[in-house]
Structure 1
Amino acid sequence: MSKTIIKVENLSKRYRLGLKEKKSKTLAGQVANILKSPYDNYQRLRKLSRFGEEDESIFWALKDVNFEVKEGEVLGIIGKNGAGKSTLLKILSQITEPTSGKITLHGRVASLLEVGTGFHPELTGRENIYMNGTILGMTRREIDRKLEEIIDFSGVEKFIDTPVKFYSSGMKVRLGFSVAAHLEPEILIIDEVLAVGDYEFQQKCLGKMEDVSKNQGRTVLFVSHNMSAVQNLCSRGILLRKGEIYVEGITEDVLKNYIGGNSSTNFLDLEKNKIKGEGNQKIDLKAITISGSLDEELPVFPMKELFISLGIDFIEGFKNQGERIDIRIDNRLGQRLIWCSTKADNKLDLKSGKLTFKIPQCPLVPDEYVLTVFIHDGHDVANWYPHVMIFKVEDDTYFDSGMTIPNGQTNFIYPFELINSHK
C-alpha cells in the first residue's frame, strides 16, 4: 500500500482586507472617527478567530481543508477563480503560513506557481538553473549531471546564456518547468503551467508529469483550468468552492460537478430559477427548450433532429440591427463539440420573441452535454450565459440497424437551420 506523502489537516487561511476610510464633512466628525477607530479595530480583531462571525474586513481564503495524497499519485485541484487553489499551493510550498491547521510533507518539494517564479532577471538562464537548484536543496554536482537534460527539454538552449529579463513569458515558463521537473523532487506542485506556451511544449509538459508520477513514483499536485489535461493526467481530484472542499473523488466525478452539477433537463425557465447573464441586459433570455421536435417535447436521439429554442425579450426601443446569437454545446469536460452562430444569417428577427436552432442530424453520442448561449446586440455583449443548462441525448440505435453510434467528437461550426416564430 502506498504511503501518505502529503497530509493536510483542518487547514485554514485568513486575510484581513483593507477597509474604506470613514470620512466626515466636519472637523468634529473627523476627530470623532479618529478617536473611535481603536475601538473598531479591537472589535474586528475579536472576530478574527471564528468563521461564524461576520465582518467585512475578514476573508477566509481556505476553511478547514482536509485531504491526503499518496506516493506516486497525481492530484488535480480545480475550481473557479478565487476558490482558494493558489492559496493552498502557496501554503503547501511553504511560501505562505496558514492561519490554522497542519500540513505534513514527506520529501523535497519543487513548485512552479507562477511564470518565472524565483528567477533573477539579471542572471542568465544557466545561472538561474543553478540558483533554483540550490534553493531546492540540490548540490552543484547533481545540477551538473542534469544540466544538459534541463536545457534540452526547455528548448531555450539558444538563449541559455542570455539574461532572463530578455525572455518572453513562454520562455520563462519553459525553463521554470524544466528545472522543477528535472531536479528529482519527491513532490512536484504545478499551478497553470499549461496556460503559457505552445501546443508542442504543453504536450511535453504532460508527458513529463506522467513520467514523473508513473515511472519515477513521485507525487504531483496539478492545478489547471484545462479540464482535458486534468482528466488525462490525474487519477483523483478536488473541487474547491469558496475556500472549502466541495467534492473529492475520482477525476471524472469531480469534473462533472465543476462543469455543471449532476442534474440534466430539456427545459429551463431562467426567470423562475433567477438565472442572470453577463452583459448590458438589452436583450434577455427567458427560457430554453431542447427537444427532438419543434412542436412538442420529445427526447433527443443521435442522428435525429435537434431543436434548441430560445425565448427572447428585449428592452423598449430595441432597434433589431446587427445583433447575433451564438450557441455552443460542450461535453461535461468543457470541450467544445458544436458551435452555431446567426452571424451569417440575414433573416434573424428577435422581435418575434422566439428563436429556434434546428440541427437536422444530431451528431452527439448518448451522454449529457452543456449548453452556453451568447447574445450580442450589434455593439456590445447583451447577455452571456456560460454553462447555462445540461441536457441529455438519449441512447438509440444507429439507423435502426442495431449498431450504436461510434464514439467521436466534432469541433466545428455545425450546419443548422434558423426558425423565427412568434410567442
Structure 2
Amino acid sequence: MTATAEGRQRVVIIGAGYAGMYAARRLQAKLRRGEASVTVVDPRPYMTYQPLLPDAAAGSVEPRHVVAPLRQLLSRCRVLTATATAIDATRRTVRVTVGDGHVEELSYDVLVVAPGSVTRTLPVPGLREQGVGFTTVEEAIYLRNHVLAQLDLAASTLDPALRRRALTFVFVGAGYAGVEALGGLEEMARFAARRFYGSVDMSDMRWVLVEAMDRIMPEVGDSLAAYATRELRERGIEVRLGTTVSSMEDGSVVLDDGTHFDAATIVWTAGVSPHPLLASSDLPLDERGRAQCEATLQVEGFPRVFGAGDCAAVPDLTADEPGAVCPPTAQHAVRQAKVLADNVVAQLRGRPVRNFRHVYAGAVAALGLHDGVAEIYGVRVRGFPAWLLHRLYHLSTMPTVNRKARILADWSLAVPFPREIVALGELHEPREEFVDVAHR
C-alpha cells in the first residue's frame, strides 16, 4: 500500500455522523503515532446526536449539548469542514468543496464512506416552500421557536381563520423521528398554553400525524405501535393511517382522502434516502442507492474502501432470511464503526479483517414527557419505564463525559424548575432588524 512522503498512510473518512465519528475516534486511539494520517470530511464542525433533537426542540436539553465538536473529539485527526462531492475509487481520490466554494482533491490509501442519509422527499406540491425537516439541531430549534411564535400569534390575533391556521400542526411520516418530534413539541405546546397563554386552550390546537402505512413506528412490534397510537389519540392528536398528503401549497394541506385544512406548521419526517454523494462515485450501489458492502464492511470490488451507516448495504449475518442487510439505525452504525476501525488498522498492518455481526438489541422511543415505548431483546416496555429507559440509553451512548454531564444536568434542573418558554425568532434572521434600520 502506498504512503505519503512522510511515510504515513492516508485514511480519509467522509462523514462525521455515528459511523464516521465513532470510527475516527477508535482509529485515533488504535493507531500508533506516525502510522497513518486520518482526515475527517464533514460540512459541519460537529456531530449531532439526533435521538435527543426532540428534547432540544421541547426545551428539555440545551441545544449545544446535543452536538459534539469534532475538533474536541478528534484531536489527533485532521478535521476538514467541507462537502465531499465526488469519489473516484479507481484513482483513489475524493473531491471536496470548502466553505468559500474552493474545490480540492484528496488522495487516500484507505477511504471510509459514511456520509449518512438525507431526508427523502416526494413530488408533493408546496413541500419545498412549506415543509421543514427534523434531522439537524438547526431544524429542531427553528421548530421550537416557530411553534411558540404560532402560540403568540394565536393569542394576539382577532382573526379566527388566522388563529386556526396558526394552531394547526401537521407531521408527515410516523417513524421514530416523526412520532418523537410530534410528542415532544405537542407536550411543550400544551405546557406553554397551560402556564402562559390563558387565551389558548389545548382544545384550540390541532395536531395531525399523517402516515402512509397502516401503523406507526415500524421499528417496534405491533402491540407497542398500537399502544403508542392510542396514547397519541388520547392526547387529542389525529393519527391518520393509510393516508398521504396530496398538496400543501401556501399551507393549504390536502390529504388523499379529500380532507382539506390550513396549517402554519408542516414537518416532513417521511423517511430518509442515501446521501447523493454515492451517485457521484464509481462504487457499486444497490437498488436503493447504498454502497454495496461485504460483511467485512469493505465495498465490493474495492478492498481499500469501507462503508458503514445509512449509506451502506451491509449483509446482516444474524438474520434468518438470505440477502438481508443491516437496518439503517444508529445502533448498527455505532457497532459497525468499531469493526470498521479495527479492520482499517488490520489492513494497514497487513493483518486479516473480520466480519461484522450484531444481533439487534431493540429500540426505545419517547412519546413526550414521562411516556414512551421500548423493546429490548424481545421484552416490551411502555409508559414511564420505557421513557426512563430511553433517557438512560441515550445518556449512556452520548459521546464524552462532558456531554453526558451537561445533559444530565439539564434533565435534573427540569425537575425543580419549569422549562424556559420563549421564541427567539431573530435567531434565524439576526440581521433583519439591522438591515431594515440601515435602509431607512
Q: TM-score range by the shorter chain?
A: under 0.3
* TM-score, structure 2 as length reference: 0.24
Question: Is the helix fraction higher in 1 or 2?
Answer: 2
More strand by proportion, 1 or 2? 1
Q: Greater Rg, structure 1 or structure 2? A: 1
